[in-house]
Amino acid sequence: MMVSSDFSPLAALIGGALIGLSAVLLLGLKGRVAGVSTIVARLLPPYQDDELPGRVAFVFGLIAAPLLSGLVGYWPQPTITGNSMVLVISGLLVGFGTVWGYGCTSGHGVCGLSMLSTRSIVATGIFMATAMVTVFIVRHLAGG
């Protein structure tokens, strides 16, 4: 399986700054950590009615951002080649991991690390180590 994209340091810097800004704003204005998996999961019942519009707006922004970037002339062209079943299983494993680890890369990696949360430091270490082992296996042992 191969995943590639056109890397641009400027786009990465701007994207990272926007992610950081959104995390700070959500924490400062709502007292909530910007964990995407938790925000998406809480769109499903049972949910508190007063929080639903904010969650919907957050997810809408995740969907709208790449579409808007296409309108202003920047449209990254990622290429994903590989077995569809492997991609589906991978997605399910990521979903399982976010539930089992009580959060995802945005919640633990962006917000939790910046707050020096022990749980987030451990979780981030585990998913980074898992990612490194997975890349090694796919590239060197599985003939990728």
- Categorize the per-residue pLDDT at 118 as very low, low, confident or very high, splitting at 50, 70 and 90: very high
Q: Say whether 23 sits in a helix, a strand or coil.
A: helix
Contacts made by residues 116-122, CB under 8 angstroms, sequence distance 24+: none
Angle CA(40)–CA(134)–CA(15) in degrees, nearest 5?
45
- Categorize the per-residue pLDDT at 122 as very low, low, confident or very high, splitting at 50, 70 and 90: very high
Tokens 């909530």 — which residue? 32
| pLDDT single digits (tens) 82-106 | 778 888 888 888 888 887 878 888 8
CA distances for 22 relative to 50, 54, 81, angstroms: 20, 13, 31
Residue type (1 letter), 8: S
Count of CB atoms situated within 10 Å of the CB of 126: 13
At 121 the pLDDT is: 93
Question: Mean pLDDT, to the nearest integer, of 46-65?
Answer: 81
pTM, whole model, 2 decimals? 0.65
At 39 the pLDDT is: 82
pLDDT of 32 strictly over 90: no
